[in-house]
Chain A
Amino acid sequence: MKSNFKVFLKGIIDVSPLMIPVVPFGLIFGVLAIDIGFTPIETMAMSLIIFGGASQIVLLQLFSGGASSLVIISSVGAVNSRHLLYGAVVSEHLSDLKLIWKIIISYFLIDQAFAISNEYLKKNKDNNRYFHLVGGGATCWVIWQSTTFLGIILGAAIPEKLGLSFAVPLTFLALLVNDFRKFINVIVIIISGLVATFGYNYIPFKAYVIVAAFAGLFTAMILTTKNKRI
């Protein structure tokens, strides 16, 4: 069994490629928040307390559009509801841990760390395998906080024309590279993408993410059952 520190380090190394697009994402968030009228301390607090990139951008979008607090909070919840599924997936590997560890690890259960550690947790059965998730999450935490801070300072010096927001979908696309080779996954990807795109303006409270996810999972459920009968 590897030492805790080595597993933690492995998490850091595995998640690093995914940190590249987090840099522009964090900058954009910092710049936007100040632009909309949040104070630097409030902006920093958002990254520290919420620690969820996509939902923080949604918060800004709705806030600047004058949405009510209730709409903003429920939208943030809807966008982040995908963590419920992440939690369900990783909980199997964390069930023997003390409550205090569950409380700490929950804070670090973000997209990138989940994507990377999900693979690791499936392949490893060591008792300390959860350190991988902590390593990945902590790395993302450092990058997210420091780029938010830089965004606050640099402000308008970053040209909007660069289209850095495109780095966000690219990150998630890169996380699916292995799934594009599997037939059922491709169908699930297409169904989820279509439901999200066409539901974007019609599903209330930005809940299109979770609606699309369940449409995708339902598709997977049907297709995998059929496969077995044949």
Chain B
Amino acid sequence: MSNWALILYCGLITYLTRFSMIALIKKEMFNDRIREILSFVPSAIFPAIIFPAIFINDKGLFEIDDNPKILAAIIAMVIGIFSRSIIATIFSGLASYWFLIFVV
């Protein structure tokens, strides 16, 4: 398959994941119970991106010793819990990560 065909198919499948539910689901299908469960969608999906990016290295191996990302993420999380600020969370995480790899 050419690179262009690959890009187009990947784009098509991505678009369909976005469009299909919006197109198919009708308002009447919602009730409070479904709404309640769907409110957990961010909490259910984002950790699936966060955890592997922190604990698994480029080679696909589990990395827990000598991994500054873990401490930096914990610092960012604590700052986030207290400040409730998205910017503060991101900056404190990056700042502590750089401090850990360049200074410590």
A127 to chain B minimum Cβ distance, whole angstroms, is 13
- For residue B23, CB closer than 8 A to chain A, the reply is yes
The answer to whether A197 and B55 have CB atoms under 8 Å apart is yes
Contact with B along A81-117 (1 / 0, CB 8 A): 1111111111110111001001101110100000100
- For residue A59, CB closer than 8 A to chain B, the reply is yes
Q: Count of B residues near A, CB < 8 Å?
A: 68
The answer to whether B25 and A91 have CB atoms under 8 Å apart is yes
Bound: A18/B95 CA distance, A: 16
Q: Which residues of B lie under 8 Å from residue A197 when comparing CB positions? A: 51-52, 55-56, 62
The answer to whether B43 and A49 have CB atoms under 8 Å apart is no
Residues of B in contact with A (beta carbons under 8 Å apart): 1, 3-11, 13-15, 17-27, 30, 35-38, 40-56, 60, 62, 69, 72-73, 76-77, 80-81, 83-87, 89-91, 93-94, 97-98, 101
Query: With A69-B6, A169-B73 given, can you name 18 additional A-B contacts, CB distance below 8 Å?
Result: A17-B90, A46-B7, A51-B14, A88-B41, A92-B35, A109-B18, A163-B101, A167-B94, A168-B49, A173-B73, A173-B76, A179-B42, A184-B40, A189-B43, A192-B45, A212-B45, A216-B48, A217-B44
